Amino acid sequence: FQKTVDKRKEHTINIEDFRAIYRTIVHRTEFRELFCTYSQNHKILTEAELTEFLKKEQFETEGSETIALEIILKHEPIEEVKRRRELSFEGFIRYMSSEDCTIFKKEHQTVYQDMNHSLCDYFISSSHNTYLVSDQLIGPSDLSGYISALLKGCRCLEIDCWDGSNNEPVVYHGHTLTSKLTFSSIIHAVDKYAFVASEYPVILSLENHCSPKQQEVIASYLVNILGEKLLTSTIGDAAVNRLPSPEALKFKILVKNKKIGTIEESLLRRGHDSHGETGEISEEEATTDDEDTDERTPLCPRSNSSKRKAEDKPSSTPRKKAKLKKIKIAVQLSDLVIYTKSQKFVSFEHSRDNQKYYENNSIGEVKAQKFLKHSANEFVAHTSRFITRIYPKGTRTDSSNYIPQQFWNVGCQMVALNFQTPGVPMELQNGKFLDNGGCGYVLKPEFLRNQNSTFNPYNVGRYSQPMSLSIRLISGHQLPPSSLSKSNKADPLVQIEIYGVPEDQTKRKSSVIKSNALSPRWNETFSFTIQVPELALIRFCVEDEISLVSNDFLGQYTLPLLSLSKG
């Protein structure tokens, strides 16, 4: 623009100048080179030449003639060229810059997976302490936490309920200074936004600290505000010993909470007024690695380091004799829990012998990481049978996140993250759940659904189906300048990262292109061999090299490896 103005010595430009500026920015040389490879006269692509391009470059083997014609009709701006069934360079650029050429597979942008498996067979997009929009100690609680999570396709929300004044239950992070929301306001928001992004079921994970009296208030809000959306009884044949499918539970909201007795007993009470009735369940209290067995630990920052030492000991330390604590539960709330009963986790063995198919466990990240190290096979066997939720350890008071991939690798369905905190963990989460139309449910690979599976992410053996991946990094276009750069020009480089089973974890780095954020060219090729492609994510991260030791983040894009389009 500056060059054009300087040339004409005026502060205005005419249409020809505008076209010249447009061409400088949009008619990129890498497009021109590609176009000229297939266009004989370097001016237009005939239908046959475009078909050739689609076969060779875009790997369109079937129906490439039809696709070629569709591209011409959709993207060619010059009517006369369109009538001749040809594509001008301008039309070619419009096609190359369109949604048709996105790296994310078109067929994965809608729900394409079988949604009739048991709920247990899916990875489920899950959020931790959804009401918080900042840190875990003094920050605000806000309805926007729930609304934005639901609009991102999140299907499992967490609600911490406490007794409030005037018999109004409130939601906040107990024993901290985070602000409070009324329980009813959250349920109104859920009612309004639950099925905007996805029609598949939403699970409300209640962490309930209320008295039986206010638990009844919670139950009445759930019933009265959610109405027909609330799941209050079994569907289909109640005798079947497996969870229903996301398809069968479409547009339903499920309550996850502790429960008295069995589903059958709840159903027998239907129509009976259980107002004022309570039941009691006994639970073991704290063990030695209490650091993250219970989200209820008061989160006051402690300087006491003995607490820290306890959490790092391996689980073979002798357990203190567990005290039993009794928890009172209102029957009215208990009866709203159908397929998602919260069950205290004891051990994989105990679950295998005693746990019912509709009982789910929550395991803190520290404990879960020990299981990854010492009993990955049992972990996989457990998640093939029962929904398992992982949550961040209590010491993450800044709302930081762990890397979720490690827990997806063993089939954990609900890997709960702090959605308000940007960074690699949430980028992996968003990338993984782009799959299957962004509906919040992604079918687990067969080896994580099969109850006889011997899959172990640390030793994949016969489960390996190696895939070779070749990525040619061509160019960048109009990258944002770094916030730290003095000159407004970035020195961009690209990192290509694979997340998956440990054997597949890898990182490659491109060269640095000095002071060119407008149109850096790399032309570098990277090759990878992926052992378990079904679990792999690929992350492209663009950075600005600030110094030899530090880079500034410019942008990233993460997607499942199997959702990559060729071409």
Residue type, 37: T
Whether 295 contacts 391, CB under 8 Å: yes
Give residues with Cβ within 8 angstroms of 460, minimum separation 6.
Answer: 501, 503, 531, 532
Residue 214 to residues 168, 275, 328, 377, Cα–Cα distance (Å): 7, 12, 12, 42
CA-closest candidate to residue 21, choices 31, 30, 12, 9: 12
Positive or negative: CA dihedral 363, 368, 371, 376: positive
Active-site position among 75, 108, 128, 382 = 128
Positive or negative: CA dihedral 443, 99, 556, 396: negative
Active-site residue 173, yes or no? Answer: yes
Reduced 3-state DSSP string for 419-466? CCCCCHHHHHHHHHCCCHHHCCEEECCHHHHCCCCCCCCCCCHHHCCC
Q: What share of the chain is helix, strand, coil (3-state, %, to 5)?
A: 35, 20, 45
Q: State the alpha helices, DSSP H only, in 97-160.
A: 143-151
Q: What are phi and psi of 107, to 5 degrees?
A: -70, -10
Q: Which residues pair with 318 in a beta bridge?
A: none
User: Which tokens hold the place of 367?
Assistant: 């404990």
Whether 328 contacts 276, CB under 8 Å: no
Whether 111 contacts 443, CB under 8 Å: no
3-state secondary structure of 117: coil
Active-site position among 75, 117, 173, 382 = 173
Scored b (16 or more CB within 10 A) or e, 435-449 reads bbbbbbbbbbbebbb
Active-site residue 272, yes or no? Answer: no
Whether 541 contacts 553, CB under 8 Å: yes
Q: Which residues pair with 390 in a beta bridge?
A: 363, 415
40: left (phi over 0), alpha (psi -120 to 50) or beta: alpha
Residue type, 121: D
Residues assigned a catalytic role: 128, 173
